Amino acid sequence: MARLPKLAVFDLDYTLWPFWVDTHVDPPFHKSSDGTVRDRRGQDVRLYPEVPQVLERLQGLGVPGAAASRTGEIEGANQLLECYLHSRPEWNESSNLNSRVGDICEGPNWALRSSP
């Protein structure tokens, strides 16, 4: 059996989604009743089409995931992660919508950690 990584870390901009969160979209983001995530201007904000399958596969293998980014728009990036992660509770066992995505996760959860 092949060895699996202890953690899969993904960049955000142009890795999970096809834009720079600090320049191409306008926070705040919201999820509509049909599950579509939109920015302040009503523009659809989507993940790359392959991302859900990749994340599901990693989750199924028990590989925890984390996000890393140099974006200056930390709040917007966290908000997008929350929109997508909370739409898929199996990607983030903590589905409290009032909590911030904070520290690197333990187990098959996702989180964005901002630098001090």
Per-residue pLDDT reduced to its tens digit, 31-40: 888 889 999 9
Residue 68 belongs to a domain: yes
Residue 40 belongs to a domain: yes
- Give the pLDDT score at 55: 87
- Cβ–Cβ under 8 Å, residues 46 and 40: no
- Residues marked as catalytic: 11, 13
Peptide bond into 18 cis (omega under 30): no
CATH number of the domain that residue 79 is part of: 3.40.50.1000
Residue 64 belongs to a domain: yes
User: Each residue of 44-84: pLDDT tens digit?
Assistant: 999 999 998 898 898 889 998 888 888 888 889 988 988 88
Residue 33 belongs to a domain: yes
Q: Which residues have a Cβ under 8 Å from the Cβ of 98 and sit 6 or more positions away? A: none
- Give the pLDDT score at 106: 33
Residue 2 belongs to a domain: no
Residue 49 belongs to a domain: yes
- Cβ–Cβ under 8 Å, residues 43 and 100: no
Residue 59 belongs to a domain: yes
104 pLDDT more than 50: no
Owning domain of residue 57? 8-91
Q: Could you give the number of structural domains in the chain?
A: 1
Residue 85 belongs to a domain: yes
